[in-house]
Chains A and B, each alone.
Chain A
Amino acid sequence: MRAPPSAVTLKGMDLSRLAQRFVEIVGADGVVTDPAELRTYECDGLTAHAATPGVVVLPTTAAQVAEIVRTCVAHGVPYVARGSGTGLSGGALPRTDGVLIVTSKMRRILEVDIDNRRAVVEPGVVNLAVTRAAAADGYYYAPDPSSQQVCSIGGNVAENAGGAHCLKYGFTVNHVLGLQVVTPDGEIVTLDSHAPGYDLLGAFVGSEGTLGIATQVTVRLLRAPEAVQTMLAGFESVDAAGACVSAIIAAGVVPAAVEMMDALAIEAAEAAVACDYPPGAGAVLIVEVDGPSAEVADELAEVRRLAQQTGAFAVRVAADAAERAAIWKGRKSAFAAVGRISPAYLVQDGVVPRTALPQVLGDIAALSRESGIRVANVFHAGDGNLHPLVLYDHAVDGEAERAERVSAEIMARCLAHGGSITGEHGVGVDKSAYMAQMFTDADLDTMQLLRCAFDPRGLCNPGKVFPTPRLCGEAPGPRTGVHPLVASGQAELF
């Protein structure tokens, strides 16, 4: 058992005094200081990293968020924003010496404007709640991370969340029209996607909570497609399923989603939700096509033909919405379902060019064989975004470390094939060490400049995204004094 967090003294400022100030701002029921309660916030959806926050504040308005940030800035205390706590890269990992600002009480849907096809929501609103609010009018919010029933829009903005349907519809950044943001200075500003000049909104979405805290999000609503068809195909092997994906894309069909699961992932999903996938399949593909009815009928026929041509031994098309939901249930619950077949797991988020999929999957299988660490594969096959789930038992000596090594090696293979260390989960703390493998020092310094322009004090979600110890000989922790790049005359702050 770890030592309980005590009242940390920060630069002469007792956190309990800071907490007292927060009580004045949000009221007593929005401030958490009890050690047991604080520990429940020690991690998000990725349990491999944990840190008990110094104090937790749950504001209900943007003005309160701004006041909390200003208080932190005045006392030089780092702060981290958190939504529903479902992130998979430790992007909302708290600071033991800092403040965790939780947006889960900011969950009002402020406006559903069907005429202008947009909705204005608070950051704590759950992703799926936006679609529910617009569904009666025949509209929906397109980005659909697998955790859409619980993850918050604010968290989606921070991580530029993706989802199964990003292949056709794009990521969160393509669906955010405007933001109200509390800057790291504690100022409330508005960012608009249509404003002339630099695309600050584009910079903010996916900045992993390092450029400020979104307090209001204007999202695009899309007209629900006239027709949707979902096909489930069982293949002997991952290779055969991969060949089918390539054939579909080569034929010029752009499905709304193309998802693949291998045998181990299928086993987990079956155990969790009895999704009734074709028995004996080495891999299944879920292909969804949507759009105008006539087009969808043509595309479905084409996809079905290609599946059979590439060796699908079972093909099933959902007859109605309930059957479609049943097919998706297996896929969307897959991460958590792995809990049924393994006590713990690491999830990777590497991206490779679609053409390299078979080779990388072969590499992963070999790595798994050599290390004795099982790897289940669930992924967005259409855009080459892999989610290998590296399974281990933390009770077995050394297994966690071996799993970590397999996980790192998978990431290295993705990079070797010209891919990326993350497709949609973000860098957070989990992958920050690998940033240097993907980017040059100059790349990373340039990113730091952008960050410093927003957050010169380095108090806003410090320790995330960038490798630690930091570049430029910086010590980790909240930055004090002048940025090294500024000191060396290479850059200036504005």
Chain B
Amino acid sequence: MSDTGHHPSREQLQELVDACVHCGFCLPTCPTYDLWGQEMDSPRGRIHLMKQWLEGAPLTDASVTHLDRCLGCMACVTSCPSGVRYDQLITATRAEVETTYPRTRRERALRGLIFGLFPHPRRLRALRAPLRLAQWTRLDRLAGRTLRRIAPGLGAMATLAPRPGRRERLPARVDARGTRRAVVGMLTGCVQREFFPQVNAATARVLAAEGCDVVIPPDQGCCGALSLHSGRRDEAVRFAERTAAVFTRAGVDAVVVNAAGCGSAMKEYADLGVDAPPVRDLSEWLTELGPVATRHPVPATVAYHDACHLSHAQGIRSAPRQLLSAIPELEVREIADPEICCGSAGVYNLLQPQAARDLGDRKAAHVAATGASMLVSANPGCAMQIAAALGRAGHPLPVAHVAEVLDRSVTG
């Protein structure tokens, strides 16, 4: 296997760009067009910038700014009647930007810090204790304010960080309850594993209750999603190869993923030239499998938030709603403008803090308007982002993963 995976050629990129007929149907679903209303911050405009680059124009500060501002939410891919593969275009263009465009020292430092930290669960773990102390002493707020002034990206990092849940050490294997129906691997993720360990525990319990042997390889690392979606392709391929190897060795029917961004990246492994067992999002897997475990009532009204990497990138919208609606006494409410991103978008909220904050505030207002008593999503990034925005708006809500709600219903 090559160490760079499959790079689209310039001819292939040109073909992808030519598929755009400039109809503009993508504009209203683009979060940044929604924010600023200007062409170059829309998918159609960004494709035009890519076209200029393919025609020989150099990448300028201005064009890179607009490409950087794309959240990679893929809402435009859903809305495009011409079938333009903007997802492939932005990934390839970002890789080009990262290799040929000289970034400022400050930007390089921030990116270096982010990519030196998030894809590495052990380094994230090292942060847990100081973070808890800072949050307990309220020092984080001061740090957030100061940092926002001198380095907005780092400031966002400080204020977005969740209160780390109690660490639950997961065994390497959880046996199915009752008759075994499948053997699945479980991706524990980086952020999910260190900051939302209770979500992984709930996922394993639900899978076991539905008759799955759950294999949780302790030596798994980052799946490569953050790197892939930020144009760090070679790094992404290295992570992908390692993750694929771990789960292939485990001999599982499928790898079940509870973080939308990770699942979406793992479904792109084939494009990177990496072979791996089939990948399923948790809700997708559970709907395919069909329920056997008894559902106990969970009397609550929840608002369900579509994570972009679940709805747009993986096309999964009805499965989580079906699973939630099947829980007795649970009411699911829809959030207005569900196709618009919350602004989290992987590490976007660290790289473009102001845009992310504005989008988060809009999303929080729509969530608050549902009158629900809890927000449910299927991605750790969205959960942190919307929880922070709801807090800012003075409307704090508990945030849960689909797995946690199911766990509560199944466990009774």
Which A residues are closer than 8 A to B by beta carbons? 1, 4, 29, 32, 34, 36-37, 39-45, 47, 58, 84-86, 102, 104-105, 107, 124, 126, 147, 149-151, 271-273, 333, 335-340, 343-345
Partner-binding segment picked from B53-61, B96-104, B175-183, B240-248 = B53-61
For residue A34, which residues in chain B have a CB less than 8 angstroms away from its CB? Answer: 60, 62
Instruction: Report the contact-size class of chain B (Cβ under 8 Å from the partner).
Output: 20 to 34
* Contact of B82 with A336 in the complex, beta carbons under 8 Å: yes
For residue A336, which residues in chain B have a CB less than 8 angstroms away from its CB? Answer: 21, 23, 25, 80-82
For residue B88, which residues in chain A have a CB less than 8 angstroms away from its CB? Answer: none
* Contact of A271 with B38 in the complex, beta carbons under 8 Å: no
21 A-B pairs, CB-CB below 8 angstroms? A4-B57, A32-B38, A36-B57, A36-B63, A37-B39, A40-B49, A84-B24, A84-B27, A85-B44, A104-B38, A105-B36, A147-B24, A149-B28, A272-B82, A272-B83, A333-B25, A335-B23, A337-B81, A338-B82, A339-B82, A339-B84
- Residue in B21, B49, B62 whose Cβ sees the most chain A Cβ within 10 Å: B21
For residue A1, which residues in chain B have a CB less than 8 angstroms away from its CB? Answer: 55-57
A85 to B37, CA, bound (A): 12
Q: Is B45 among interface residues, defined by CB-CB distance under 8 A?
A: yes
For the residues of A in contact with B, the DSSP-based class is: loop
Q: Is B18 among interface residues, defined by CB-CB distance under 8 A?
A: yes
| A-contact bits for B31-56, CB 8 A (1 contact / 0 none) | 00000111110001100110010011
* Contact of A124 with B37 in the complex, beta carbons under 8 Å: yes
Q: Is B20 among interface residues, defined by CB-CB distance under 8 A?
A: yes
A34 to B37, CA, bound (A): 17
Known A-B contacts A150-B28, A340-B82; A45 and B37 likewise in contact (beta carbons under 8 Å): no
* Contact of A105 with B21 in the complex, beta carbons under 8 Å: no
For residue B48, which residues in chain A have a CB less than 8 angstroms away from its CB? Answer: 39-40, 42
- Residue in B20, B28, B56 whose Cβ sees the most chain A Cβ within 10 Å: B28
- Residue in B19, B48, B66 whose Cβ sees the most chain A Cβ within 10 Å: B48
Known A-B contacts A34-B60, A40-B45; A45 and B24 likewise in contact (beta carbons under 8 Å): yes
* Contact of B63 with A339 in the complex, beta carbons under 8 Å: no
- Residue in B20, B55, B82 whose Cβ sees the most chain A Cβ within 10 Å: B82
Would you list the 10 A-B pairs with minimal beta carbon distance, nearest first?
Answer: A339-B82, A336-B81, A333-B81, A336-B23, A104-B37, A40-B45, A34-B62, A339-B21, A105-B37, A40-B48
Q: Is B22 among interface residues, defined by CB-CB distance under 8 A?
A: yes
A335 to B24, CA, bound (A): 12
User: In whole Å, how far is A122's beta carbon from the nearest beta carbon of chain B?
Assistant: 11
A287 to B248, CA, bound (A): 54
* Contact of B40 with A40 in the complex, beta carbons under 8 Å: yes
A418 to B342, CA, bound (A): 54
* Contact of B19 with A339 in the complex, beta carbons under 8 Å: yes
A29 to B37, CA, bound (A): 11
- Residue in B25, B36, B39 whose Cβ sees the most chain A Cβ within 10 Å: B39
For residue B49, which residues in chain A have a CB less than 8 angstroms away from its CB? Answer: 36, 40
**Which A residue's beta carbon lies closest to that of B53?**
A36
For residue A345, which residues in chain B have a CB less than 8 angstroms away from its CB? Answer: 21
**Which B residue's beta carbon lies closest to that of A41?**
B39
**Which B residue's beta carbon lies closest to that of A103?**
B37
A338 to B22, CA, bound (A): 12
* Contact of A37 with B83 in the complex, beta carbons under 8 Å: no
User: In whole Å, how far is A454's beta carbon from the nearest beta carbon of chain B?
Assistant: 28
* Contact of B63 with A272 in the complex, beta carbons under 8 Å: no
* Contact of A150 with B24 in the complex, beta carbons under 8 Å: yes
User: In whole Å, how far is A236's beta carbon from the nearest beta carbon of chain B?
Assistant: 27
A34 to B60, CA, bound (A): 10
A40 to B56, CA, bound (A): 16
**Which B residue's beta carbon lies closest to that of A82?**
B39
- Known: A36-B52, A36-B63, A271-B83; 17 extra A-B contacts, CB below 8 A, are A1-B56, A4-B57, A37-B63, A37-B66, A40-B39, A40-B45, A41-B39, A42-B48, A47-B21, A58-B38, A84-B24, A104-B39, A333-B25, A335-B21, A336-B81, A339-B81, A339-B83
**Which B residue's beta carbon lies closest to that of A100?**
B39
**Which A residue's beta carbon lies closest to that of B20?**
A339
